[in-house]
Amino acid sequence: MVVNLLMLLIVIAITIGAGWLTWRAVRAKRLWVKVVGGLAAGLLTLVFAAAAFTGGKGIAAIYFSGAKPAPDLKVAGSAEQVARGEYLVNLSCVGCHGAADAIGNPSGKSPLSGGWNIAEAEGLGFVGAMITENLTPGGKLAGYSDGEIFRVMRHSIDKEGRRLGFMAFLPYGQLSDEDTQAIIAYLRSLPPAETGGATGDQLNFIGMLLFGSGMIPPPAPAADQISAPPQGVTVEYGKYVATFGECAGCHGPDVSGIEATSMSPAVPNPRPIISTWTQEQFAEAMHTGVRPGGAPFSEAMPWQNASKMTDDDLAALYLYLTTPVK
Ligand code: HEC
Ligand code: HEC
């Protein structure tokens, strides 16, 4: 944060300097200095003023997020909670938070000691680093209360009140209170693993510009209390499976595809094709990564998550994805 605040001061100083130059040029005696110098310095002033404004907004959004206090919460840590948490964490978190290998790639396996720089992997390295955290009691969460971990999951706000760069894109703010607590119970139950290297966000001033400009939009605000529909092979529960199974995170809120944006390519609507598959074919595709016709999913489609789902969750997901969106 100190470096980004310093950058902001430098940008403001340049803006003032360029503004002063503009004023000097405009008041110059020679006409060409007035016009050429005035225009050039004026333009520079505008550019740097815009950068100062946008960067300042980004700094405010990240470091002074105005987060609500973490809830006062103590997770019981029952055997059922730990088991449910294990299921959910192995479906999704492990893909990013599984120990990074020697060259920094995620292993997708235990221990959950993190260390993957996903900003770099996603081609966003120019905004700085966003490195997955060690989620075992050997990492920074040992210093978090249960309520503070809850706030990470629900609102993507860290212990110090800063907005998390990457977690904010993920759908965990829609997990039920019960499931969020189950995840906390499971993470607390893990054997502590050592943190390999740097973790967390180290965003630079370009990052601040992107956050401040709205190019990386803030997450939709999450409710303070969330309950999930009852577990079962129903459309409602299938929609919830699509949330924690992350389908909705990529394929859009209704899993009906999203159009390309300046930051990300389009993601197709999977509903039409799934509607041509039987439930068995769908389950088979999700277990093997190969569609009924024999065409494998591309790397961009992480079927591995769904391959770890229970048969009932897959059935509910199928039901939901073959039911027309209201
Ligand atoms: C797509 C990759 C990805 C997935 C999946 C993911 N995370 Fe993260 N997580 C990150 C990154 C990157 C960070 C570092 C901070 C940031 O940029 O958001 C992080 C940070 C965290 C932190 C530390 C927050 C802090 O206060 O510093 C916690 C806790 C966490 N994740 C929990 C989870 C849990 C639990 C899951 C699964 C339910 C999960 N994450 C799934 C990428 C991921
Ligand atoms: C990280 C983003 C991401 C997540 C998470 C994700 N998908 Fe996808 N999915 C994609 C992309 C990108 C494609 C297009 C590439 C391809 O067809 O292989 C795709 C393709 C598909 C297709 C094939 C569509 C077609 O017309 O051929 C199906 C079916 C599908 N996804 C279902 C799912 C389901 C079900 C889930 C949740 C369990 C899910 N996806 C989660 C990104 C994602």
Encode pLDDT of 114-126 as tens digits.
999 999 998 889 9
Q: What is the pLDDT of residue 68?
A: 86
In the chain, where the domains are located: 2-63, 79-213, 235-321
Which of 172, 241, 250, when mutated, tests ligand 2's pocket best, judged by the most ligand atoms within 8 Å of its CB? 250
- CATH number for 235-321 (one of 1.10.3470, 1.10.760, 1.10.260, 1.10.3210): it is 1.10.760
- In terms of residues, how long is the chain? 326
Predicted structure pTM score = 0.93
Using only C-alpha atoms, the chain has a radius of gyration, in whole angstroms, of 24
165 is written with which tokens?
């760069």
What is the CA(173)–ligand 1 centre distance, in A? 12
User: Tens of pLDDT along 226-264?
Assistant: 999 999 999 999 999 999 999 998 999 899 999 988 777
- CATH number for 79-213 (one of 1.20.950, 1.10.10, 1.10.760, 1.10.4160): it is 1.10.760
Q: What is the pLDDT of residue 295?
A: 95
Ligand nearest to the CA of 203: 1
Alpha-carbon distance 216 to 205, whole Å? 14
Which of 97, 127, 180, 189, when mutated, tests ligand 1's pocket best, judged by the most ligand atoms within 8 Å of its CB? 97
CA distances from 237 to 3, 227, 234, 241, 249 (A): 46, 11, 5, 6, 16
Nearest CA to ligand 1 atom 34: 93
Longest dimension (CA), the chain: 83
Per CATH, 79-213 and 235-321 having the same topology is answered yes
Nearest CA to ligand 2 atom 30: 270
Query: Angle 39-45-50 (CA atoms, 0-180°, nearest 5)?
Result: 130
User: Tens of pLDDT along 172-227?
Assistant: 999 999 999 999 999 999 999 999 889 999 999 999 999 999 888 888 889 999 99
Question: What is the position in ligand 1's atom list of the atom closest to the CA of 148?
Answer: 26
Tell me which residue of 243, 261, 114 sits closest to 180, measured CA to CA. 243
Query: Angle 157-163-169 (CA atoms, 0-180°, nearest 5)?
Result: 90
CA distances from 62 to 11, 59, 210, 219 (A): 18, 5, 11, 12
| Spatial contact of 114 and 195, defined as CB atoms under 8 Å apart | yes
Alpha-carbon distance 17 to 123, whole Å? 34
Average pLDDT over all residues of the chain: 94
Question: What is the position in ligand 2's atom list of the atom closest to the CA of 285?
Answer: 29
Ligand nearest to the CA of 274: 2
58 is written with which tokens?
């980004």
What is the CA(285)–ligand 1 centre distance, in A? 28
What is the CA(247)–ligand 2 centre distance, in A? 7
Alpha-carbon distance 278 to 286, whole Å? 12
Alpha-carbon distance 306 to 288, whole Å? 10
Q: How many CB atoms lie within 10 A of CB 239?
A: 22
Average pLDDT over residues 48-65: 92
| Spatial contact of 197 and 129, defined as CB atoms under 8 Å apart | no
Nearest CA to ligand 1 atom 22: 133
> 159 CB contacts (<8 Å, ≥6 apart)?
70, 140, 143, 144, 148
252 is written with which tokens?
């859009």
Question: What is the position in ligand 1's atom list of the atom closest to the CA of 141?
Answer: 29
Question: What is the CB < 6 Å shell around ligand 1?
Answer: 89, 92-93, 95-97, 118, 130-133, 135, 141, 149, 152, 158-159, 164-167, 170, 172, 183, 200-201
What is the CA(32)–ligand 1 centre distance, in A? 56
